[in-house]
Amino acid sequence: MQDHNNFIGKGYTFYRAKSPLRLALLGCVALVAIGGTFVDAKLIPTGASAAISQSGGVTSFADVVDHVKGAVVSVKVNTVEVSDDEGNMSPDVPDLQPGSPAERFLKKFGEQNGQPKPRAGQSLGSGFLISADGYIVTNNHVVEHGKSVSITTDDGKTYDAQVVGVDAKTDLALLKVKSDTNFPFVNFSGKSPRVGDWVIAVGNPFGLGGTVTAGIVSARGRDIGSGPYDDFLQIDAPVNRGNSGGPTFNVDGDVVGVNTAIYSPSGGSVGIGFAIPSETVKSVVASLKDNGAVARSWIGVQIQPVSADIADSLSLKSTKGALIAEPQKGSPAAEAGLKSGDVITAVNGDLIEGPRELARKISGLSPDHTVDVTIQRDGREKTLPVKLAAMPGEPKEAALTSAEQSRTELAALGLTLAPASSMQGSGKSGVVVAAIDQSGIAAQKGLRAGDIILEVAGQPVSRPSEIVAAFDAAKRDGKKAVLLRLKSADGSRFVALATQANS
């Protein structure tokens, strides 16, 4: 089976346990099945903290663990893998003639037309509840290849979960459980931890569930090369595969980070773990909850650090700030009058230490807002108003996020959907079938990739989520099928799909 648990670098390259020392996402633990006991849910007690001795040392984390463990969940993801017995993708081979002996042989023994037969699998990660109504935070890389997602709570109950939205750039995902249960939940910390502060990690390493480890914050602001907005906490609380998406707590029981990656020779913990800080998580989760995606801003400049030599040549007093190598033509920066050689030292009065901080600061602001950018130019300080714009490519990425969500929620139909407006040549109305499982129910009913769904149950649709909602409403009303109106190259037609296919 292919190892989906270890990834390295920006490209998330697969590697095996015997590889040399590398940076790895914590990933998920592949399992065959999970057991669970159903008992009544309990709310988290409040006001707990670590026991402190008279000398100021921590004597026990038991109270804080009792305070938070009910909100930490195991995340199970059903996946489809296409690989050979060694975990490698099968090489391309020429298409085979239908009905030929070779085609019949491959079809019988697991391959058809040179393509490996998909195999179902399961993987596990971690997550945590942030609201009583069932919102859950986890990692994007835990759920991104999933066809369906479920969570198991500390009391053994299992619930189906939907992917509200994902953000690949920060490796975060937001899930939602539909239930009348009043779930226990935890809060994000209102202050950043200091290097040397105690932290407690709770998660689901290797599928064991409910595992607690402790350590300290080893460093802040780590750039591990996983994305453009790296700003990780480094912790030495042991975390392993399956801890991905789980929380790191302070001694007051508040979340200070989301466990994401480890530095390891084998994929096991060696005391160097990385967590997304709660400040980043809070802003991304808020955007995912409201919009299903993260809309980032952009000013359009190529930037670089200010070296000591550059600072001296520009008569700067320090090396802080971001040097503009070139503003892009037609960008917000160019329109505002920023020039090559300008050094950006502050945004809205907040000092900028370097290029990474500038990128994080701008991307965290809403598009179409105007910010005051302070620069050093010709030895003088100057402030220019810059109207932010949406980062190029963000609308497309938001559409892909919707497609990933629809793939999770409509897995039984075999559909991957996206707004028609997001795909060139699909028009502005409806939802396009971006991909289709030829063995799925939708394909058996005649749907094809490229078909555009115009109406569901008589109502126009423009987003995959509207199709999901229509199927949910039909099931609640006891209807056995939902009528879709489609448009394709052959014209318009109606197709009825069974509601139980989406259960």
Give SS3 for 104: helix
Instruction: Please state at what angle helix 394-409 crosses helix 464-476, rounded to 10 degrees.
Output: 20
Mean pLDDT of the chain, nearest integer: 78
Sign of CA dihedral 466, 470, 471, 476: positive
DSSP state of 339: -
Distance CA 235, CA 202 (A): 13
% of the chain surpassing 70 pLDDT: 73
Q: Give the model confidence (pLDDT) of 467-483 as tens digits.
A: 888 888 888 888 888 88
- Which CATH entry fits the domain spanning 394-502: 2.30.42.10, 3.40.190.10, 2.30.30.100, 3.40.140.10? 2.30.42.10
pLDDT at 100: 60
Listed range (114-128, 262-276, 278-292) with the worst mean pLDDT: 114-128
Q: Give the model confidence (pLDDT) of 85-104 as tens digits.
A: 434 433 333 444 556 655 55
- Which CATH entry fits the domain spanning 1-89+115-293: 2.40.10.120, 2.60.98.20, 2.40.160.40, 2.60.40.10? 2.40.10.120
Rank 135-139, 424-428, 444-448 by mean pLDDT and report only the highest. 135-139
- 332 versus 493: the higher-pLDDT residue is 332
Q: What is the 3-state secondary structure (H, E, C) of 238-249?
A: CCCCCCCCCEEE
Catalytic residues: 141, 171, 244
Whether domain 297-390 has CATH 1.10.760.10: the reply is no
113 pairs with which residues across the strands? none
Contact 149, 30 (CB under 8 A): no
pTM, full prediction: 0.61
Q: Give the model confidence (pLDDT) of 185-242 as tens digits.
A: 999 998 999 999 999 999 999 888 889 999 999 999 888 776 667 789 999 999 988 8
CB atoms within 10 A of CB 131: 14
CATH 2.40.10.120 domain position(s) in the chain: 1-89+115-293
Token code pair at residue 205: 């390493």
CATH 2.30.42.10 domain position(s) in the chain: 297-390, 394-502
pLDDT at 402: 41
Distance CA 465, CA 418 (A): 10
- Indicate if the pLDDT at residue 368 is higher than 60: yes
Distance CA 143, CA 176 (A): 13
Distance CA 301, CA 307 (A): 18
CB atoms within 10 A of CB 317: 7
How does residue 81 score in pLDDT terms, banded at 50, 70 and 90?
Answer: low
pLDDT at 241: 87
By CB atoms closer than 10 A (0-12, 13-18, 19+), residue 95 is exposed
- Indicate if the pLDDT at residue 7 is higher than 80: no
Contact 481, 496 (CB under 8 A): yes
By CB atoms closer than 10 A (0-12, 13-18, 19+), residue 393 is exposed
